């Protein structure tokens, strides 16, 4: 505190000297007045900017302004109103961020006008300009001193640490029957509130300081010298040369990075390692479990372990018709070998009868060491659990990958006119396919969500529907020399022989397919497209309506009476051939996926739901993925939000969710600046000027997503990342690869897409979300 006071006095002394020099150099009252005006505007601008940074830091450290404490009512139990208070404090700070950003734009505009007036009038000389700039620089240093002091003293310091203070919203949802303060300290809770994607820094450094680089590089070496050589045996010498060059650069770049880790970063690493250890112990001792939430966002749910597993068991009982229990895992070898034998025998028959080639047979042929069954992994929410099935190393993994590569181009061609899978595509269809022309002031908007889309269809029904649509689209012609009949046989194998483990028992699917896998999603979209086409699209009532499928949801307009709609929906439920579970919403306003839609007197109004600006759960290198998410979400927000005020509210919510997930003010400012440069706008101007916003929105609605080049193949590489020059190594790797493969027939950058992924091992999800042992 004394050092801070001395530094401020020193700064003010130099400012006084500059002020005296300026007065000596001035010859007119105008020069005195304009100099004072520019200085005052700069001070106001700097004050707003540093206040903005400080408020963001308060969110980052979960330390609301002390004035917000007056909202707390200590006569009531804290659990009754904690969530409401968190939301209220977050709304207050969001309003403050909005005001500060608006003020920054206004002061920047005012400063430009003042400077333009000087330049036009030529009333100032070079010496006066330099003195003003020096005073502004001193003011900047003074603001920086204040910001650093208050950040360290009020936010980072333990001086004000109060475990009972209620903070902002966060990424940790706690079950109602758990008293969190009984089990966890404030510091532990602060770490958990970063969410499952949060990566504790430099943990690999702490665990493997001696063999660190060797461990980090090992996956990349395996892929270059073993995996690629298996695929391209004639290019062994080429891959050896590439690997030697890449290894040399890897060790050079990351050995330097690892030696340059700052003491403060290492101190943070040790502190978080210790915190994680104490959280793991606490979870074990009190029989608690952490799980990601069912919405695939960067959020944890803390629940009693017994209650969690009870919910999982109840789910399996409620869906017992969907799954068949085959055996306990004590018979694992027998069950797996039986399934391998059945699949291989069918493949052998297809190859013998020339339905598939010998190369495809060898590609799909199974061996026991290919298979490693996984437990079904349940995500949790307040009222239900959701299973996630892993297809990695499953009995049908090779089949699903092969069929996905084979069928995806054709299926996407079938679906492209009436099925979308992104917000961007949905809003483009609404604006460019005459949805607005179907709207009258009385038009109803209807949304049907198929809640059991992955378990809806019997296996034979899936095969029949997909076979029918493929044959119709291809006019019974083969796809890459594979007949439609052969594709149906391969689909039967995939659906019938997929296995998973739950609580020491092996199961297979009676109907439906593994949910949310890449291939299953493709198949379910096509099956739902068939259902929609037969039940809705071909219906005479829809000749003058707009109809669109968004994955497992259907959206359409309705220009008849509400009573007719009610009768139609009732018939749709009662006379469906499938046991369909529909969630239906209709009226002048509805929600579909991330989008809120309204019919406002015959005009379509849209905005994005607040939940959609939550950070998604990601793995690998979260910071890079969140940078990409931030940019794409800004674009989606503008495209989806009809009103610039909605856009601004949601954008500030984006900032807040980045901060509560551990991403800094510098992260946010960097991404906003990139957006400004790319689209030649000022994001703070957009939020206060409706005309500017609508012009930008109009341009972005015409904005075409980057279309990827059609590559003959994709090769993915990865290495373990802990700390250091990520971008530098990315550049070196791609330079080396392109240099040595430039003239290669299949591996050049024109033919093959090369992806290099950095992978963190120590996310909170991997360290704290315990998986039940088989």
pLDDT digits (tens, 9 = 90+) for 43-102: 999 999 999 999 999 999 999 998 998 887 765 666 678 888 999 999 999 999 999 999
Strand 300-304: give its sheet, edge to edge.
172-174, 300-304, 288-292
Q: Does 490 lie in the same domain as 572?
A: yes
The verdict on 76 and 203 lying in the same domain is: no
In this structure, the answer to whether residues 453 and 582 fall within a common structural domain is: yes
Q: pLDDT, tens digit, for every residue of 647-684?
A: 999 999 999 999 999 999 999 999 999 999 999 999 99
The per-residue pLDDT for 78 is 67
What tokens does 313 get? Answer: 């068991």
The predicted structure's pLDDT at residue 690: 92
Cα atoms in the Cβ-side hemisphere of radius 13 Å centred on 387: 26
How far is residue 523's CA from residue 404's CA, in Å, rounded to a whole number? 9
Q: How confident is the model at residue 313 (pLDDT cuts 50, 70, 90)?
A: very high
Q: pLDDT value at position 193?
A: 93
Of 767 and 540, more confident: 767
Mean pLDDT of 513-530: 93
Beta 172-174 vs 300-304: how paired, if at all? parallel
Same domain, 30 and 128: yes
| Assigned domain for 677 exists | no
- Beta-carbon neighbour count of residue 540 at 10 Å? 6
Residue 644 in any domain: the answer is no
Once rounded to an integer, what is the mean pLDDT over residues 523-539?
Answer: 87
> Does residue 347 share a domain with residue 291?
no
667 contact partners, CB below 8 Å, separation of at least 6:
623, 626, 627, 658
Query: With 60 as the cut, is the pLDDT of residue 161 above it?
Result: no
Interatomic CA distance for residues 174 and 82, integer angstroms: 12
Contact 727, 623 (CB under 8 A): no
Mean pLDDT of the chain: 89
Task: Report which listed range, 112-116, 179-183, 524-528, is most confident.
Answer: 524-528
- Report the number of distinct structural domains present in the chain: 3
In a shared domain, residues 393 and 466: yes
The predicted-structure confidence for 563-592, as pLDDT tens digits, reads as follows 999 999 988 877 666 678 899 999 999 999
593/463 same-domain check: yes
In a domain, 161, yes or no: yes
**For residue 635, which of 589, 591, 678 has the smallest C-alpha distance?**
678
Higher pLDDT, 511 or 36: 511
pLDDT tens for residues 682-718?
999 988 889 999 999 998 888 765 544 566 678 999 9
Provide the pLDDT confidence category of residue 773 given band limits of 50, 70 and 90.
Answer: very low
- The verdict on 370 and 394 lying in the same domain is yes
**Does residue 162 register a pLDDT over 70?**
no
What percent of the chain stands above pLDDT 90?
A: 61
Q: Report the alpha-carbon distance of residue 343 to residue 367 in Å, rounded.
A: 11
Overall average pLDDT of the 3-12 stretch: 77
- 661 falls within a domain: no
Tokens (6 digits) for 694: 């609508």
CA dihedral over 587, 589, 594, 595, signed as positive or negative: positive
How high is the pLDDT of residue 180?
65
Distance CA(44)–CA(106), nearest Å, equals 10
| Torsion angles phi and psi, residue 369, rounded to 5 | -75, -5
14 compared with 207, residue with greater pLDDT: 14
Structural contact between residues 330 and 774, judged by C-beta atoms closer than 8 angstroms: no
pLDDT (0 to 100) of residue 119 = 66
Residue 212 vs residues 196, 207, 242, 730: alpha-carbon distances, Å = 24, 8, 22, 19
Q: Is 676 helix (H, G, I), strand (E, B) or coil?
A: helix
Are the CB atoms for 581 and 621 separated by under 8 Å? no
Residue 159: predicted pLDDT = 46
pLDDT in tens, 221-264: 999 999 899 888 899 999 999 999 999 999 999 988 877 888 88
- 193 touches 168 (CB < 8 A): no
Note the pLDDT of residue 2: 76
Last residue of a domain, one of 606, 624, 651: 606
Residue 729 — pLDDT band, cuts 50, 70, 90?
very high
322 found inside a domain = no
Q: Tell whether 497 and 409 lie within a shared domain.
A: yes
Region of residue 299 (left: phi > 0; alpha: psi -120 to 50; beta: else)? beta
Q: For residue 773, how many other CB atoms are within 10 A of its CB?
A: 6
- Judge whether 467 lies within some domain: yes
Which pLDDT belongs to residue 122?
A: 61
Distance in angstroms (rounded) separating the CA atoms of residues 314 and 567: 34
Whether pLDDT at 8 is above 90: no
Q: Which of 108, 134, 166 is the last residue of a domain?
A: 166
* More confident call, 721 vs 772: 721
Summarize the confidence of residues 154-167 as an average pLDDT.
70
This prediction has a pTM of: 0.89
Q: Answer with the one of 548, 577, 606 that is the final residue of a domain.
A: 606
382 Cβ partners below 8 Å, 6+ apart? 173, 175, 301
Least confident interval from 249-258, 300-309, 380-389, 568-577:
568-577
Quick check: 438 and 599 in contact, CB under 8 A?
no
Give the pLDDT of residue 756.
94
Residue 108: enclosing H or E segment and its boundaries? helix 78-121
Domain with 376, as residue range(s), is 332-606
Q: What value, to the nearest 5°, has the Cα angle with vertex 197 and ends 195 and 201?
A: 100
Is 214 within a domain? yes
Q: 208-245: buried (b, 16+ CB within 10 Å) or exposed (e) per residue?
A: eeeebbebbbebbeebbbeebbeeeeebeebbeebbeb
* Same-domain status, 341 and 265: no
The confidence band for 429, taking pLDDT boundaries of 50, 70 and 90, is: confident
Same domain, 488 and 381: yes
Average pLDDT over residues 434-463: 88
β-pairing, 752-759 vs 713-720, is: parallel
Q: Are residues 238 and 343 in the same domain?
A: no
pLDDT band at 6 (very low <50, low <70, confident <90, very high): confident
**Least confident stretch, 332-341, 693-702, 748-757:** 748-757
Contact by Cβ (8 Å): 347, 361: yes
- What is the rounded distance in angstroms from the CA atom of residue 112 to the CA atom of residue 483? 69
Q: Which two tokens stand for residue 125?
A: 């000389």
The owner of tokens 């209807």 is 446
Determine the pLDDT at residue 774: 33
Cα diameter, the chain:
101
With a CB cutoff of 8 Å and minimum separation 6, the contacts of 525 are 411, 415, 419, 421, 549, 551, 552
**pLDDT attached to residue 262:** 87
Angle subtended at Cα 101 by Cα 157 and Cα 689, rounded to the nearest 5 degrees: 165
Is residue 120 pLDDT above 70, yes or no? no
Arithmetic mean of pLDDT, 440-464: 93
C-alpha count within 13 angstroms, C-beta hemisphere, residue 769: 21
Q: Is residue 264 part of a domain?
A: yes
């Amino acid at each position: 505190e004394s050092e801070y006071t001395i530094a401020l006095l020193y700064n003010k002394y130099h400012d006084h000297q500059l002020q005296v020099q300026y007065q000596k150099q001035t010859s007119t009252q105008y020069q005195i007045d304009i100099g004072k005006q520019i200085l005052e505007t700069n001070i106001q601008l700097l004050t707003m900017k540093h206040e903005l940074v400080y408020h963001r830091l308060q969110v980052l450290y979960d330390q609301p302004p002390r004035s917000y404490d007056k909202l707390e009512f200590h006569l009531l139990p804290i659990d009754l109103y904690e969530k409401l208070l968190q939301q209220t404090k977050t709304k207050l700070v969001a309003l403050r961020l909005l005001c500060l950003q608006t003020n920054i734009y206004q002061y920047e505009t005012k400063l430009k006008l003042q400077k333009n007036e000087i330049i036009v009038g030529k009333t100032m000389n070079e010496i006066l300009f330099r003195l003003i700039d020096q005073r502004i620089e001193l003011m900047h240093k003074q603001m920086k001193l204040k910001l650093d002091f208050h950040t360290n003293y009020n936010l980072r310091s333990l001086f004000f640490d109060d475990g009972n203070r209620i903070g902002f919203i966060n990424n940790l949802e706690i079950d109602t029957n758990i008293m969190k303060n009984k089990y966890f300290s404030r510091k532990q809770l602060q770490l958990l509130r970063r969410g499952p994607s949060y990566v504790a820094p430099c943990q690999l450094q702490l665990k493997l300081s001696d063999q660190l680089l060797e461990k980090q590089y090992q996956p990349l070496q395996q892929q270059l010298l073993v995996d690629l050589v298996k695929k391209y045996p004639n290019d062994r010498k080429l891959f050896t040369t590439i690997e030697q060059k890449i290894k040399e650069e890897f060790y050079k770049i990351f050995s330097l990075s690892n030696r340059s880790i700052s003491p403060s970063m290492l101190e943070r690493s040790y502190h978080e390692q210790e915190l994680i250890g104490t959280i793991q112990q606490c979870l074990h001792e009190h029989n608690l479990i952490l799980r990601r939430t069912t919405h695939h966002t960067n959020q944890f749910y803390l629940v009693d372990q017994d209650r969690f597993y009870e919910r999982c068991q109840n789910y399996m009982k409620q869906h017992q018709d969907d799954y068949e229990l085959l055996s306990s895992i004590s018979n694992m070898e027998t069950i797996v070998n039986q399934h391998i034998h059945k699949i291989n025998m069918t493949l052998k028959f297809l190859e013998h009868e020339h339905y598939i080639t010998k190369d495809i047979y060898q590609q799909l042929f199974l061996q026991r060491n290919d298979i490693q069954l996984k437990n079904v992994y349940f995500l949790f929410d307040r009222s239900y659990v959701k299973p996630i099935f892993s297809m990695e190393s499953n009995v049908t993994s090779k089949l699903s990958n092969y069929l996905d590569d084979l069928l995806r181009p054709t299926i996407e061609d079938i679906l492209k006119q009436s099925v979308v899978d992104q917000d961007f595509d949905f809003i483009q269809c609404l604006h460019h396919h005459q949805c607005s022309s179907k709207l009258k002031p009385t038009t109803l908007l209807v949304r049907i969500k198929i809640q059991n889309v992955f378990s809806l269809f019997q296996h034979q029904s899936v095969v029949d529907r997909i076979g029918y649509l493929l044959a119709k689209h291809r006019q019974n012609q083969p796809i890459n020399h594979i007949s439609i009949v052969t594709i149906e046989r391969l689909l039967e194998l995939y659906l019938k022989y997929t296995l998973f483990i739950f609580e020491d028992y092996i199961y297979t699917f009676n109907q439906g397919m593994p949910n949310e896998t890449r291939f299953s999603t493709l198949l379910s979209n096509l099956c739902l497209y068939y259902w929609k086409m037969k039940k809705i699209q071909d219906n005479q009532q829809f000749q003058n309506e707009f109809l669109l499928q968004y994955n497992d949801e259907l959206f359409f307009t309705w220009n008849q009476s509400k009573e007719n709609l009610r009768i139609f929906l009732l018939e749709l439920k009662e006379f469906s051939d499938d046991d369909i579970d529909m969630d239906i919403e209709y009226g002048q306003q509805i929600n579909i996926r991330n989008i809120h839609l309204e019919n406002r007197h015959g005009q379509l109004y849209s905005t994005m739901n607040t939940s959609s600006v939550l950070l998604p759960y990601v793995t690998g290198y979260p910071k890079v993925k969140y940078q990409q998410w931030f940019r794409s979400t800004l674009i989606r927000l503008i495209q989806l939000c009809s009103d610039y005020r909605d856009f601004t509210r949601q954008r500030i919510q984006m900032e807040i969710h980045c901060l509560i997930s551990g991403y800094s003010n510098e992260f946010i400012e960097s991404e906003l600046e990139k957006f400004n440069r790319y689209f030649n706008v000022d994001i703070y101007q957009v939020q206060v000027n409706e005309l500017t916003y609508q012009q930008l929105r109009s341009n972005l609605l015409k904005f075409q997503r980057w279309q990827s080049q059609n590559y003959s193949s994709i090769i993915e590489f990865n290495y373990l990342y802990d700390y250091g020059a990520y971008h530098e190594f990315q550049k070196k790797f791609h330079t080396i690869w392109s240099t040595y493969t430039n003239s290669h027939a299949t591996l050049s950058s024109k033919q093959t897409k090369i992806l290099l992924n950095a992978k963190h091992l120590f996310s909170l999800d991997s360290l704290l979300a315990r998986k039940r042992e088989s």
